[in-house]
Amino acid sequence: MTQQIPTESESTPPQPPSSPRWERETLEKVLLASVEEQRRARRWGIFFKSLLAIYLGVALWMTLKPMGKASLDEGFGHTAVIDVVGVIAPGQPASADNIIEGLRDAVEDKNTKGIILRMNSPGGSPVQAAYVYEEIRRLKKLKPELPIHAVVADMCASGGYYIASAADKIYVNNASIVGSIGVIMGSFGFVDSMKMLGIERRIMTAGEHKALMDPFAPVDPVAQQHMQGVLGLVHRQFIDAVKQGRGARLKETPDMFSGLIWTGGESIRLGLADELGDARSVAETVIGAKKMRDFNPEENLLDRLSRRLGTVTGQVLLEAANQLQAMPR
């Protein structure tokens, strides 16, 4: 039997092509894919930068927009509007500093024909309210011909009414809440709870009544009586201010200064308010200057920008999160 010896070509398996052309084509494809990926990333980068620039531009425009108000009013009369909204307290929008700054700016503006205090407050600090009350009285003496009116929206109670009573007139809605001429100080008592939990109160003072109104100690009758006297004095100051501001218009009743509240219609009947009206009707028909200009002190530019940009960023992130949740998994 004859055995054939295979040739070299038959014994060696076929090899893959290794020509320089094949390597070059593969390298070109990899490079083209890399370039395309970079272009795609650059396009997305440009898109997001443009979007951010648009948001910044809109926020800046909205921030700077109020600065042009003064030029619009040159040569024309306007009604100055100052908001007394929310709790009257230091550091709040309705703080004495903010309201007084708005009042002074409005009075100094030669085009101001009258001032409206737009009231919507449950009250707050009697000290802050007293500051504003006294400033209104001072400005009225300085410019007796300039009307200052209070216009009540939902509520004008406690310290809010303290301020409003200094105005020339108080305008309300039938459903407004007016009054609450009183003073309150709140606290809690945890004595029995501490006994149940086995907690021992340890406190050191220099002064017999230094721990006044301590919620972790039994009520001190002497301190309680003293604090009631203090509240009474503040209440008396509040009552005197209302009587001075409202004068003979008040139809005093036994419960008028008891802390009760009344509707707008009832407050007119009692002399706590004067007439029905809103800001627009008072500006147009009472003051005689239909154009209303906002004299609320504005935040500084950086604070306003950061707050508005924060809001915009939050909205963008929320929208992105919603879209991600809606994507199929």
Residues near 294 by Cβ (< 8 Å), separated by ≥ 6? 66, 69, 81
Closest to 117 in 3D by CA, of 294, 300, 262, 299: 294
Give the burial class of 42: count Cβ atoms within 10 A of its Cβ; 0-12 exposed, 13-18 middle, 19 or more buried. Answer: exposed
Number of residues written out for the chain: 329
Q: Are 161 and 143 in contact (CB under 8 A)?
A: no
CA distance 163 to 282: 18
Give the Å distances, CA to CA, from 116 to 168, 178, 230, 268, 270. Answer: 10, 17, 33, 18, 22
Please give the average per-residue pLDDT across 164-175, as a whole number.
97
pLDDT at 318: 57
Q: What is the mean pLDDT of residues 32-53?
A: 75
Q: Rounded mean pLDDT of 175-190?
A: 91
**Position with higher pLDDT, 92 vs 303:** 92
Coil, strand or helix at 14 = coil
Name the DSSP class of 124. B
Label residue 71 by pLDDT band (50, 70, 90): very low
Place 200 in a pLDDT band, splitting at 50, 70 and 90: confident
pLDDT band at residue 279, thresholds of 50, 70 and 90? Answer: very high
Exposed/middle/buried for 145, CB within 10 Å: 0-12, 13-18, 19+?
A: exposed
Backbone angles phi, psi at 276, to 5 degrees: -80, 140
- Asked whether residue 67 carries a pLDDT value surpassing 50, the answer given is no
Pick the range with the lowest mean pLDDT from 19-33, 133-147, 288-302: 19-33
Residue 100 confidence (pLDDT) above 50: yes
> Which is more confidently placed, 67 or 19?
19
Q: Is 158 within 8 Å of 122 (Cβ atoms)?
A: yes
pLDDT band at 70 (very low <50, low <70, confident <90, very high): very low
33 contacts 26 by C-beta, under 8 angstroms:
no
Q: What mean pLDDT, rounded, does the chain reach?
A: 83
DSSP H or E run through 84: strand 78-85
Can you give the pLDDT at residue 202? 84
